[in-house]
Amino acid sequence: MRWIALLAALAMPVVAWLSQTGQFGPTNGAISDRYPTLLVAAGYAFSIWGLIFLLDVVFGLWQLRRRTPDFNARVRGWATVGFALTAAWMPVFSQQAFLPALAIIWAALACMAVAAVRAAPLNASAGQRAFAAYPLALHAGWLSMAAFLNTAQVIVAYGWLDTANMLPWSLVLLALATLLAWCMNLLLRGHYAYPAAVIWALVGVYVKQSGWRLPGADTVAVLALAVAALLLVQTLLLRARAWRAPRVAVVAEHRCRR
């Protein structure tokens, strides 16, 4: 499983390169332009995949020496499946098999969310925090928004909801994305990597939707920026609580000894 995890991490950038060179069909950007939505982010925002892939490969190399069954069951297996699903999503989406792609990205999000939470326990070592918790949380954070962006594109592609006035159902998706990000941030206790990826995506949505031609774009832009600000505040509060916790524990232990 250790080598499979590394191979899965390495497969993602390779498949991404093939996808962007048109080996599987139209690029993700071309398909996104074909089915515009109110939740799509500016093109530059997707450059975060480069950092995600790099850190995931670092995780793949680091976990080679983690042979403990507990780590394998709690983190490595979930991460490996999440990497494989992320790689699989790219050619499937390029082939415009939208429903399978949607199922794949949501499954990838589920796997990466579990892996991220399990990689960041309170008693995690410095190495595990740096080489497992941060890469997996960043991946999970971006997928937390990407899954909803993909959902919006599928809705438009199949005409499931009103495409002339996308604002009502786009607001519902944005609200659900906010709830998911808020809950994940709580589970991760404000782990910096997760909210950083989500905020990056939300700012990308703001940039793309500001002054765009679609009705309701300006409203979504403002709300995306507001959600990003709220997530930042939540993260700072959670980190402040985490910083105080060790001090409280030390004081309590000292009193017990007295």
Residue 247's pLDDT is: 46
CB 19 within 8 A of CB 91: yes
Distances (CA, A) of 181 to 2, 116, 154, 201: 29, 13, 21, 12
pLDDT level of residue 127 (50, 70, 90 thresholds): confident
> In the prediction, which pLDDT does 72 show?
67
Q: What is the pLDDT of residue 126?
A: 83
Residue in 57, 90, 68 with CA at minimum distance from that of residue 1: 68
Give the per-residue SS3 of the chain: CHHHHHHHHHHHHHHHHHHHCCCCCCCHHHHHHHCCCCCCCCHHHHHHHHHHHHHHHHHHHHHHHCCCHHHHHHHHHHHHHHHHHHHHHHHHHHCCCHHHHHHHHHHHHHHHHHHHHHCCCCCCCHHHHHHHHHHHHHHHHHHHHHHHHHHHHHHHHHCCCCCCCCHHHHHHHHHHHHHHHHHHHHHCCCCCHHHHHHHHHHHHHHHHHCCCCCCCHHHHHHHHHHHHHHHHHHHHHHHHHHHHHHHHHHHHHHHHHC
| pLDDT tens digits, 50-101 | 999 999 999 999 998 866 666 767 899 999 999 999 999 999 999 999 999 9
User: Residues of the chain with pLDDT > 70: what percent?
Assistant: 92
pLDDT digits (tens, 9 = 90+) for 23-48: 999 998 899 889 999 999 999 999 99
Could you list the residue range(s) of the whole structural domain that residue 186 is in? 2-257
Q: What b/e sequence results for 72-111 when a residue is b if at least 16 CB atoms lie within 10 Å of its CB, and e otherwise?
A: bebbbbbbbbbbbbbbbbbbbbbeeebeebbebbbbbbbb
pTM of the model: 0.91
**Of residues 143, 165, 145, the one with CA closest to residue 227:** 145
Question: Using CB atoms within 10 A of its CB, is residue 168 exposed (0-12), middle (13-18) or buried (19+)?
Answer: exposed
pLDDT digits (tens, 9 = 90+) for 91-104: 999 999 999 999 99
pLDDT at residue 104, rounded to an integer: 98
- Are the C-beta atoms of residues 206 and 224 closer than 8 Å to each other? yes
Q: Does the pLDDT of residue 258 top 80, yes or no?
A: no
pLDDT of residue 24: 93
pLDDT in tens, 141-174: 999 999 999 999 999 999 999 999 999 999 999 9
> How far apart are the C-alpha atoms of 144 and 190, rounded to whole Å?
15
In this structure, of 128-142, 164-178, 232-246, the range with the lowest mean pLDDT score is: 232-246
Please give the tally of structural domains in the chain: 1
Q: Report residue 255's pLDDT band, with 50, 70 and 90 as the boundaries.
A: very low
Mean pLDDT taken over the chain: 91
Q: 177 pLDDT exceeds 50?
A: yes
pLDDT(12) > 90: yes
